[in-house]
Amino acid sequence: MGHVVLVLVETVNDCLYLLEDQGYELILAPSAASRAEAIATHGARIDVVLTRGPLGLRDDEMAALPLLGIICVIGAGYEEVDLQAASNRGIKVTNGAGANASCVADHTLALLLSTVRGIPQADASVRRNEWIKVRQPSLSGKRLGIVGLGAVGQAIAKRAALGFDMSVSYHTRQPRPDSPYTYRANVHDLASAVDFLVLATPGGAGTRHLVDASVLQALGPDGYLINIGRGSVVDTQALITALAAGTIAGAGLDVFEGEPLVPDGLKTLGNVVMTPHVAGQSPEAAKDTVQLVVDNLQAFFSGRPLLTPLQLPAPR
């Protein structure tokens, strides 16, 4: 009997042929309605779910999938996957850590350059037949702080250090003894020590509003915030207030709380650059992401170790 994959994601459709080429049957369910219908109609046959962090998979959905053996999450984040429920049911979970790291890092530097150098504002000014020259800070030799030093964080740090001669500091739950960068014990200390603060950490309860008004105050009036992690990591109202008051100089945002809805308070500010959660999107990243899913599934169904397993809580 072939394996049946419930595909909840909508961003890698053009690369799903990699799964089909290996004989997997795909059931596409990118909306809430199609997701519920697919589980109700095909639940007894589905043994794989392909999802992403914000879409997740709930306990009641797992209960409706008696053959489910593995959940594959594209991207590094997995905040809405019920890991405890998966553990209780003996379901394996993998993520896509590292598959799109280069793409996300490229976009991070693009956001940083656009925000600090005022590129969108300058472009809009020229289109209005204006010729206004504003002195904007440079990036070279500045201090970069990164919250989260996984594959994405390391790729960002490498670009900043080697490409722009920046000094790099970071914060993670535990220091990395193999890292050449400076460890800071908490986010507040990190923010106070850098010019640019980049958020590359997963979402979830453990990081919700990690960046609050006090962290933004520590970053200061010459500091810039870049978020390519998860919108929930930042207290949005505190950020709007800080940007409007000049508490920080600017922000570049690819992720938002409650996306795709973006607060009007952000849209009216001139010192913020926004993109619609596309940092990890490129043809190369999509193909690498789906290939990692294929590789994990091939390992799982052949009894070999998974390539990117998540550590699950103890079953209870």
* Domains of the chain: residue spans and CATH: 4-97+283-301 (3.40.50.720), 101-274 (3.40.50.720)
Set 89, 259, 284, 304: catalytic member: 259
Q: Tokens in use for 224?
A: 């810039």
The question of whether 58 is a catalytic residue gets the answer: no
Single out the residue of 103, 106, 223, 229 nearest to residue 163, CA to CA: 106
Find out whether 84 and 311 touch, Cβ atoms under 8 Å: no
Set 52, 277, 284, 316: catalytic member: 277
Find out whether 298 and 283 touch, Cβ atoms under 8 Å: no
Set 61, 159, 230, 257: catalytic member: 230
Residue 47 sits at φ, ψ, to 5 deg, of -120, 0
Q: Which residue has the tokens 């001139």?
A: 270
DSSP 8-state secondary structure symbol assigned to residue 279? T
Q: What is the pLDDT of residue 77?
A: 86
The question of whether 209 is a catalytic residue gets the answer: no
Residue 272 sits at φ, ψ, to 5 deg, of -135, 135
The question of whether 230 is a catalytic residue gets the answer: yes
Stated pTM of the model: 0.91
Find out whether 202 and 81 touch, Cβ atoms under 8 Å: no
Single out the residue of 53, 77, 55, 57 nearest to residue 69, CA to CA: 57
| pLDDT string in tens for the chain (316-residue length) | 689 999 999 989 999 999 999 999 999 999 999 999 999 999 999 999 999 998 999 999 999 999 999 999 998 889 999 999 999 999 999 999 889 999 999 999 999 999 999 999 999 999 999 999 999 999 999 999 999 999 999 999 999 999 999 999 999 999 999 999 999 999 999 999 999 999 999 888 899 999 999 999 999 999 999 999 999 999 999 999 999 999 999 999 999 999 999 999 999 999 999 999 999 999 999 999 999 999 999 999 999 999 999 999 999 8
Q: What is the pLDDT of residue 1?
A: 60
Neighbours of 153 (CB within 10 A): 30
